[in-house]
Amino acid sequence: IQDIDIKDVIDRIQAVPESQIIEAIPQFSESGSLDGIGIEDFGPAVQIYLGIQQAIIDFQLTAVTLRCFDLIAPLQSTGCLALARLNDEGIPAGCEGDIPALFTMILNHLIQSRPTFMANPSGIFQDRIRFAHCTVPLSMTVSHSYKSHFESGIGVAVSGGFPSLGMTISKIGGRKLDRFYVDEADFSGNSSDADLCRTQLWLKPRKGVRYFTTSPLGNHHIIGTDQYADSFRLLMQSLGCREVG
């Protein structure tokens, strides 16, 4: 693990030439509709992506987790768009400096070679649970639009709609990262509550929702399309980890 000072990351972001930003904006802005934001919001968001991309090259990184809230004040934008693109490019990229969640993303990627959705449980109704976050790899969605980041009201966040597929929910946790949760889930719908992070997904876990209401392994969980809980379980057990939930 490399612990890179956030100032080093911000320096690389601020050093991105304006011409490079202008050239790259259409690659992002033209892929989805804009909902409550303008084309001018893409400049800082694309600049963040290009700066993080440079940091990945400079430090020879294969995965990243970004302390994204530390970017808001100095850059007046967010990392949501950057993380969505990096995941689509095959670089597991997580939010809020969450290392256990990033490890979970990496192991998911090793198993099924596709990007994953890092999200927060944000509501339970009977046997269904809603997950939400402001970034999602576009390749996981069947439709998407761009909105502002929920907590800050600035930047460019992704509001994605998922296909009706079986999915897998997982998380590694514990003080020694020696415990794990995994379950397969049925798709139960997308939603667009204005008072939540922009991408919202309802799932019906096969084992029920009790784990999430009693002793979850943190807040962030990782969701992958397709159902491969047995493969994830076998890998974790081979590493001597104990299943919870």
Looking at residue 5, what is its pLDDT? 95
Alpha carbon distances (Å) from 214 to 15, 101, 132, 217, 244:
46, 19, 19, 10, 11
Q: 42-59 and 6-14 are packed helices; what angle lies between their axes, rounded to 10 degrees?
A: 120
Looking at residue 194, what is its pLDDT? 94
Looking at residue 226, what is its pLDDT? 92
Q: 99-112 and 229-238 are packed helices; what angle lies between their axes, rounded to 10 degrees?
A: 120
How many whole angstroms separate alpha carbon 156 and alpha carbon 37?
8
| Structure confidence by residue, pLDDT tens digits, 47-106 | 999 999 999 999 999 999 999 999 999 999 999 999 999 999 999 999 999 999 999 999
Tokens of 38: 């303008």
Q: What pTM, to 2 d.p., does this model score?
A: 0.96
Looking at residue 51, what is its pLDDT? 98
CA triple 212-217-219, angle to 5 deg:
70
Looking at residue 161, what is its pLDDT? 97
Looking at residue 175, what is its pLDDT? 92
Give me the residues of the chain with pLDDT under 50, please: none
Looking at residue 166, what is its pLDDT? 95
CB 203 within 8 A of CB 86: no
CA triple 160-164-168, angle to 5 deg:
85
CB 116 within 8 A of CB 62: no
| Cβ atoms < 10 Å from Cβ of 207 | 14
